[in-house]
Structure 1
């Protein structure tokens, strides 16, 4: 399939390397004969392809993202593919400065400022905001079918009871906004003291902003209060930030639970470390 995609885009390639930490697509970094670096992205499904395609149309010129140089609609064997420019830099790490954290806040707030337009005809990206509570519940109980096979019966029952109790305590959702659904350091590219942009849009929705803080907090903001404070300042410079502390417990809990189900679906052996991390997180919430 890779060779077919390379031929489809007419690329003259010197070398190809698969990109790690890409969970909903197969991504390759290619060095071309002219020395340029580009990325080939092949989503796992047609729906993920369509979401990505529409996201690039919506975000272009409004949020810093790679340039979509070309795309292929695919065929019966391939759901589609994208040819993307390289964002200068490397994925965000917890070693970043408060200046970077501030700019990450600005980037996310710019994305959250985008609202659905009635004239937009979208087939991949759904507006889940009007039924946000149902959307969150459907996601949770979809993964619950997989989680049931991992947890012992008593722990599983406690998790279900905690979800139902915490869900009742949520404030009114904030939106409708363009939400990434996988806003984590691996998808945020930084270059020295600049944020080059954000990548990977296979899971995007229009929904409540509250869902988008969880993974960033889990993998970045929770490490240093100075990063957390600078991030909030950056976000608030663009749009008002919700009371994150009010919603984080619920979304951190459901993230750990859903991640256990995701690990089961994608293969326990391949995702053993991620599974153990989230089992530990879940048990801290329940025991």
Structure 2
């Protein structure tokens, strides 16, 4: 498949390497004969391809993202592919400084400031905002079908009861906004303390911003209160940040539960560490 995509884009490639930590696409870093680095991305499904394509069109000029140099709509064997420019730098880590966290807040808020386009018909991205409660239910109970094979019956039932109880306490939804659904350090690129941009748009939607903070908090903001504070200042410089204390507990809990279901779908052995981490988180919430 890689060879076919390289031929499709007529690239003169010196070397390729597969990018790790990409869970919904196959991504290759390619060094061209002129020394330039580009990325080839092959989504797992046609829907993920369509979401990514629309995201690049919608965010261009509004949010820092890679340049989409070219794209291919695929065929019977390939759902499609993208040729993307390189964002300079490496994924964000918890060792970042507050100045970087401030920029992450600005980036996130700019993305959330993007609303559904009135002039563009969307085939991949859905606007889930009008039925947000139903969307959250659908996500949770879909993953519950997988999680029940991992959790013992008592823990599983406790999770269902907690979900229904906490859901009733949520404030009014904030949106409709462009939401990433996987906004975590691995998808935020930083170069010498400067945020280069955000990548990976296979799961994007229009919906409520409240769902979009849990992974960033889990993997970055929770490590240092100064990072959390700087992020909030950066976000508020663009748009008002919702009261995270009211929504984070619910979404951190559902993120842990849904992640257990995700591991069951993708393979317990391949994602054993991630599974164990989320089992520990869920037990902390429930027990």
* TM-score above 0.5, yes or no: yes
* 1:193-212 alignment runs, 5 A limit: 193-212=193-212
Instruction: Supply the distance in 2 between the matched residues of 1:122 and 1:163 (Cα, whole angstroms).
Output: 31
Q: CA deviation at 1:117?
A: 2.4
* 1:83-232 alignment runs, 5 A limit: 83-232=83-232
Instruction: Supply the distance in 2 between the matched residues of 1:118 and 1:69 (Cα, whole angstroms).
Output: 25
Instruction: Supply the distance in 1 between the matched residues of 2:73 and 2:116 (Cα, whole angstroms).
Output: 24
Spell out, residue by residue over 1:96-125, the C-alpha distance to the aligned partner (whole angstroms, 9 max, x if none). 000000000000000000011222200000
Instruction: Supply the distance in 1 between the matched residues of 2:65 and 2:118 (Cα, whole angstroms).
Output: 24
Q: Which consecutive segments of 4 or more residues in structure 1 shift more than 6 A?
A: none
Instruction: Supply the distance in 2 between the matched residues of 1:276 and 1:11 (Cα, whole angstroms).
Output: 41
SS of the residue corresponding to residue 70 of structure 2 reads strand
Gaps of 5+ in 1: none
SS of the residue corresponding to residue 195 of structure 1 reads strand
CA RMSD of aligned residues (A): 0.4
Q: CA deviation at 1:180?
A: 0.3
> Is structure 2 residue 11 aligned with structure 1 residue 11?
yes
Instruction: Supply the distance in 1 between the matched residues of 2:102 and 2:193 (Cα, whole angstroms).
Output: 10
* 1:234-273 alignment runs, 5 A limit: 234-273=234-273
Gaps of 5+ in 2: none
Aligned pair count reads: 287
Q: CA deviation at 1:8?
A: 0.3
Number of the residue aligned with 1:34: 34
